[in-house]
Structure 1
Amino acid sequence: MKQRDIFIAFFRSGMLGFGGGPSAIPLVHREVVVTYKWMSDEEFSDVLALANALPGPINTKMAGYVGWRVGGFAGMLNALFATSVPTVILMILFLSLLTAHKDKPWVSGMSSAVLPVAGVMMGILTWDFIVKSRKSLGWMGTVLILAVSVIIMELLGIHPAILIAALLATALLSGSKGRKKRQEKGVQA
């Protein structure tokens, strides 16, 4: 049953994520967090940050990790198969169709519509993460991290993977300091 659910979740997100990995992220989020509840929003955002920092297609990295976490090695292979193989088959079919009709205006119109749709989907996911981060950081902390991140990436030209790694390291270090303080308070009480 679990392997079937893994296949269905990543098959749907892979097939409906037209426009590449970024457009599939909200779909993977819906399957993993909302539909099957394999992860919380915080865990998903951590996986997304790590997947963004690593090289390669994001959809397959996320599918591999979630599949492994939910169903072990077989789950990982299942999720990777469900994400990759149907997409390859559809790409071959669609490219054959587009090549046959490449001079038609509806083909260029369809191609032009992909970028705005992917942008809106990423914007919705980003806003969702901003709203949810307010619970743990507050609005001031969220806006501060967002502003500093934009400045670091756009004005200083630092790669997003370096920023993500620095934020993860900061979160890990501050989390371990908070645990030590709580443990010390528990020993004193």
Structure 2
Amino acid sequence: MGKWVQLFWGFFKVGILGYGGGPGSISLIQAISVNGYHWMDNTQFAEMLAIGNALPGPIATKLAAAIGWQVGGVMGALSALIGVVLPSLVLMLGLYQVLLAHKSNPYVIGLIRGVKPIVIVLLVLLILDLIPGTFPAHRYVIPLVIFILGLVAIKELKISPVLVIIGSMITGALFLR
């Protein structure tokens, strides 16, 4: 039962502190699961994050379910999911009316604008932390080419991101073994 409580508590902290949705939560999940509880290493986390990003839905809940499953089976997945969702659910139900009443307040507007750059910095730090384990020094070229081609395909050729993701997964499976 200790694992389930750890999963709940670890992901409860992510749910409370992960302002900005999934992107803001990814670095917290990484810190808790890699550095805090040592449920996995950075390479395993990067692989789980890559798979989670390829699937539809919120990334924080996908990571919670996957990590919870890996650590504690079905009950671990449920514990982690409840932990990550519960704070948002309670806050949304309890504070919705308050925020609605004060949505034009300059302090509330400033608070929201001030948090956005922090989320971007957290994402950049996460990327810099994951690159060494994900792409060994001699294998940067193909992922960089896949990234550039994907960017061109989406922005210039107007190809659906879904098709680009599927193509990137196939290319990675073929060339990045």
Q: Show the 5 A alignment for 1:37-116.
A: 37-116=38-117
Structure 2: distance between partners of 1:165 and 1:42 = 22
Structure 1: distance between partners of 2:19 and 2:91 = 11
Q: Which moved more, 1:52-61 or 1:77-86?
A: 52-61
* Contact 1:53–1:160 under 8 Å retained in 2: no
- What TM-score, normalized by structure 1, do the two folds share? 0.79
* Contact 2:49–2:63 under 8 Å retained in 1: yes
Size of the aligned set, in residue pairs, is 176
Q: Show the 5 A alignment for 1:147-158.
A: 147-158=148-159
* Contact 2:39–2:71 under 8 Å retained in 1: yes
Residue 53 (structure 1) shift: 2.0
Structure 2: distance between partners of 1:138 and 1:53 = 21
Q: Alpha carbon RMSD of aligned pairs, Å?
A: 2.4
The aligned counterpart of 1:186 is none
Structure 1: distance between partners of 2:105 and 2:22 = 27
Structure 1: distance between partners of 2:29 and 2:78 = 16
One-letter amino acid matched to 1:79: A
Structure with higher Rg: it is 1
Structure 2: distance between partners of 1:141 and 1:173 = 11
The aligned counterpart of 1:162 is 163
Structure 1: distance between partners of 2:164 and 2:72 = 31
In the alignment, structure 1 segments of 5+ residues that lack a partner are 179-189
Structure 2: distance between partners of 1:147 and 1:173 = 18
Residue 82 (structure 1) shift: 0.3
Structure 1: distance between partners of 2:52 and 2:74 = 18
- Tell me the secondary structure at the aligned position of residue 168 of structure 1: helix
Q: Identity rate of aligned residues, in percent? A: 35
* Contact 1:67–1:77 under 8 Å retained in 2: yes
Q: Show the 5 A alignment for 1:168-179.
A: 168-174=169-175
The aligned counterpart of 1:126 is 127
Structure 2: distance between partners of 1:94 and 1:26 = 25
* Contact 1:64–1:79 under 8 Å retained in 2: yes
- Tell me the secondary structure at the aligned position of residue 136 of structure 2: helix
Structure 1: distance between partners of 2:13 and 2:174 = 37
One-letter amino acid matched to 1:83: V
- What TM-score, normalized by structure 2, do the two folds share? 0.84
Residue 126 (structure 1) shift: 2.2
